[in-house]
Amino acid sequence: MAVQSRTQQRKRRQQRARTRLHGTASRPRLAVFRSNKFLYAQLIDDDARKTIVSASTQQKDLSTQLENRTATVAAAELLGKTIAERGKAAGVAQVCFDRGGYRYHGRVKALASAAREAGLEF
């Protein structure tokens, strides 16, 4: 068996988790993606294959608040708060959390905690 890169390993973990996670209109999936520069979060209805709400630290309103430090734990907290506010405005109260194959630690944990504190239920 060949050695896999970190990205390939993360993709395999992500696919294993996606077999158990399924978002609906009443309880969408909160999907998280992180790159080296930015963080992204989406509320996804898997039945309709639609993104209900999305937020990113790449967006101008968030990146100016963060003074272009867009991939930090503080950025993840702001992103979690923002996605929760936008989700509540769209009528979403409960979500299932999809960490995207990343460890529940650091930026991913900060995003989830901030979203919980802002009113989303997981």
Residue range 81-107, pLDDT digits in tens: 999 999 999 999 999 999 998 999 999
Type of residue numbered 23: G
Residue 9 placed within a domain: no
Domain CATH number, residue 60:
3.30.420.100
Q: Considering the domain boundaries, does residue 73 fall inside one?
A: yes
What pTM was computed for the model?
0.88
Mean pLDDT of 26-33: 94
The total number of structural domains in the chain stands at 1
What is the spatial distance between Cα 69 and Cα 36, in angstroms, rounded to a whole number? 11
In a domain, 48, yes or no: yes
- In degrees and rounded to multiples of 5, residue 47 shows phi and psi of -65, -45
**19/55 Cα distance (integer angstroms):** 24
Domain that holds residue 52: 23-117
- Per-residue model confidence (pLDDT) at position 68: 85
φ/ψ of residue 94, rounded to 5: -120, 145
The pLDDT of residue 111: 98
Q: Identify any residues that bridge with 96 across adjacent strands, giving them in sequence order.
A: 29
- Cα(5)–Cα(20) distance, integer angstroms: 24
